[in-house]
Amino acid sequence: MYRFAISPTRDMHIADLQLALLNYICAKQNKKNFVIRIEDTQKNKRIEGKDNEIIDLLSIFGVNYDALYYQNENFKYHLQFASSLMSKGKAFSCFCTEEELKKSKIYSGKCINISQEELLNNNLPFVIRIKKPTNEIYINDSIKTKINFEADKIDSLIIMEEKKYPTSNFANACDDMIQGISHIICDKNNLEDSPKQEYIRESLGFTEKLYYTHISIISDNINLKSLLDQGFLPEAIINYLLALEKEISSIEEAIDSFKIENISKCPSKFDIEKLKIINKQQIQSLSDMEISKIIGYSSSDIGKLAKLYSKKFSTTFEIKNRIDKIFSKKSSKLYIEELKKLKNIVKEAPYFENFDGFKKYLQEQSKLENEKFSKPFSIMITDEEDEENLENIYNLIKNYIQEIAR
């Protein structure tokens, strides 16, 4: 079983999606279940509705779960496990103050041997720590195979905070054990946490090893919802994140073609220009009706117009704004009378299949010349004074010309 864990205390980033996609795809490739876990133990930091937003965003990208867990639901088990470790002498109460702890990066061990009498007579706030390991810890990693960690590299970890909430490492270790997680694809920066969680599970008597894949994910905190709002297509973002050899148009295609061993081993910065190129290609790959509906229309000709504008613009948001301008009521400060005259002529004009015929008719009827004709004529059709593709645009919107020239 694979899992994707995220906290509802912040917006979802593109790097979060990258991890979710990798875990989801590998789960489906290996015919295993995929779990989403909402890490909501810090209730005071939780943003209302953020969990639903995360789930909805994942759904947009085709990432659907077999099970959804909220970490706070396992809180009673976290307490039981911590109590079990203490009763077996594997964990202890620590009363050290922050000032004492700041004196050394490594825990001194001061509270390990506190007697029962001292413990009962102590009213100071305390945390619960797990004792340091005595043997080296190893983890299975699909990229580096087996990774060993010396015992003295792992400190006496805090597993329960003063307010009796579990630390992230303790809660995650327990939950992975409870939920039967077998594979975890995670950020390379979590490599220090993996042996700690492995040690916690071992201390609880869990003997099955988890299989890790530590990868380098995008290092920038780019808001995922913002990218969608800007008009980047989900399929383009998937292509960008997975760096596939061929373009895919659905998550199902990604499951068929993706290979985890091909994922980049080096950290990468977010490249908006590269995403723009992929987004343009994705727009071009859609059917005319598909792209038309995405930007709020329902016409194959408008879809073709969108693809025409995709040569200049990179996102559906930009393209929609441009096409919406064509269908908006036009005005001009410099060519008020000229534009009004052309609009009135179009109201009574016959239908012209050919652009040149339409243009010639308006010139003859208006008796406008040079710039007095060309600029208001361009504004009337596109809301731009100097549109270069007037003929191509006209051929795609000629059936709506009277509405456009209103």
The CATH number assigned to the domain holding 126 equals: 3.40.50.620
- Both 211 and 331 in a single domain? no
Domain final position from 197, 215, 233: 215
- Both 170 and 35 in a single domain? yes
User: Rounded to an integer, what distance in angstroms lies between the CA atom of residue 302 and that of residue 291?
Assistant: 8
- Residue 392 domain-assigned? yes
**Confidence bin at 265 (pLDDT 50/70/90):** low
Q: Rounded mean pLDDT of the chain?
A: 91
pLDDT at 340: 95
- Both 57 and 184 in a single domain? yes
Mean pLDDT of 9-30: 95
pLDDT in tens, 198-223: 999 999 999 888 999 988 888 888 99
- Both 137 and 15 in a single domain? yes
pLDDT in tens, 273-321: 999 999 999 999 999 999 999 999 999 999 999 999 999 999 999 999 9
pLDDT in tens, 161-209: 988 889 999 999 999 999 999 999 998 888 889 999 999 999 999 988 8
CB 250 within 8 A of CB 21: no
Residue whose C-alpha is closest to residue 185's, from 89, 93, 261? 261
CB 180 within 8 A of CB 57: no
Mean pLDDT of 264-277: 84
pLDDT at 151: 84
- Residue 285 domain-assigned? no
Q: Global pTM?
A: 0.89
User: Rounded to an integer, what distance in angstroms lies between the CA atom of residue 26 and that of residue 217?
Assistant: 16
- Residue 128 domain-assigned? yes
Domain with 137, as residue range(s), is: 2-215
pLDDT at 178: 94
pLDDT at 41: 82
pLDDT in tens, 349-376: 999 999 999 999 999 999 999 999 999 9
| Apex 337 CA angle, 331 and 339, nearest 5 | 45
- Both 185 and 59 in a single domain? yes
User: Encoding tokens for residue 162?
Assistant: 């003063």
CB 22 within 8 A of CB 64: no
User: For a pLDDT cut of 70, what percent of the chain falls above it?
Assistant: 98
- In the block, residue with structure tokens 């496990």: 81
pLDDT at 104 over 80: no
Domain final position from 215, 250, 267: 215
- Residue 79 domain-assigned? yes
- In the chain, the number of structural domains is 2
- Residue 88 domain-assigned? yes
Domain final position from 182, 215, 248: 215
- Residue 259 domain-assigned? no
- Residue 315 domain-assigned? no
User: Encoding tokens for residue 24?
Assistant: 């989801």
**Confidence bin at 143 (pLDDT 50/70/90):** low
